[in-house]
Amino acid sequence: MKDTSEKQCFVIMPYNKKEDKSGKIFDFNKIYNYLIKPAVDQIQEYKINCIRCDEISKPGEIHADMMEHILNDEVAIVDLTTLNPNVLYELGIRHSLCKSITVIIHHKSTENPFNINSVRTINYDHEDIESVERAKDRIAEFIINGLTLKETDSPVCQLLGERISLPETSHPIKKCQVTEFSLRNAPNKKICIITGDINGVKKADIWVNSENTNMQMARYYDKSISSIIRYLGARRNEVTNEVEDDTIFKELTEKMGKLNAVPPATVFVTNSGELEKTHNVRKIFHVATVVGMIGRGYTPIANIGECITAALSKADSDSIKKAGLKTILFPTFGTGTGGGKPENIIPELIGSAISYLESNPDSIIEKVYFLAYSKEELDVYCSTLSQSKDILHGDNVAAS
Q: Are residues 253 and 205 in the same domain?
A: yes
Give me the CATH number covering residue 67: 3.40.50.10140
Q: Enumerate residues 6+ apart whose C-beta is below 8 A from 180.
A: 190, 191, 192, 367, 394, 395, 397
In-domain check, residue 171: no
Same domain for 206 and 115, yes or no, is no
In a domain, 166, yes or no: no
Q: How far apart are CA 251 and CA 3, in angstroms?
A: 41
Task: Choose the final residue of a domain: 103, 132, 160.
Answer: 160
In a domain, 170, yes or no: no
3-state secondary structure of 329: strand
Residues 6+ apart with CB under 8 A from 178: 192, 193, 194, 195, 203, 369, 396, 397, 398, 399
Q: Look up the CATH number of the domain holding residue 296.
A: 3.40.220.10
pLDDT surpasses 90 at 134: yes
Q: What is the mean pLDDT of residues 112-119?
A: 81
Please check whether residues 330 and 277 belong to one and the same domain: yes
Residue 36 falls within a domain, yes or no? yes
Same-domain status, 135 and 282? no
* 274 and 204 part of one domain: yes
Domain membership flag for residue 220? yes
The total number of structural domains that make up the chain: 2
Final residue in a domain of this structure, among 160, 193, 209: 160
Distance of CA 151 to the CA centre of its chain: 18
Is the residue at 172 inside a domain?
A: no
Across residues 223-246, what is the average pLDDT? Answer: 93
Domain with 130, as residue range(s), is 7-160
Q: Give the residue with greater pLDDT, 243 vs 5.
A: 243
Does residue 165 fall inside a structural domain? no
Do 127 and 100 belong together in one domain? yes
Do 136 and 273 sit in the same domain of this protein?
Answer: no
Instruction: State the average pLDDT for the chain.
Output: 89
Q: Are residues 266 and 125 in the same domain?
A: no
In this structure, are 222 and 88 located in the same domain?
no
Do both 199 and 148 map to the same domain?
no
Angle at 274 between CA 400 and CA 306, to 5 degrees: 75
Structure confidence by residue, pLDDT tens digits, 67-93: 889 988 999 999 999 999 999 999 999
pTM: predicted TM-score of the whole model, two decimal places: 0.67
Instruction: Show Cβ contacts of residue 202 under 8 Å, excluding neighbours closer than 6 positions.
Output: 279, 280, 400
Residue 212 sits in the same domain as residue 132: no
Residues 151 and 265 in one domain: no
Residue 106 is assigned to a structural domain of this protein: yes
The runs of H, that is alpha helices, within 316-399 are: 318-321, 342-359, 375-387
Domain boundary among 125, 160, 195: 160
How does residue 182 score in pLDDT terms, banded at 50, 70 and 90? very high
SS3 195: strand
More confident residue, 336 or 205: 205
Is the previous residue joined to 101 through a cis bond, with omega within 30 degrees of 0? yes
Is the Cβ–Cβ distance between 13 and 52 less than 8 Å? yes
In the predicted structure, residue 63 carries a pLDDT above the cut 70: yes
pLDDT tens for 216-230 read 999 988 888 999 999
pLDDT value at position 277?
A: 96
Name which residue leads in pLDDT, 108 or 55.
Answer: 108
Is the pLDDT at 278 greater than 90, yes or no? yes
pLDDT of residue 336: 75
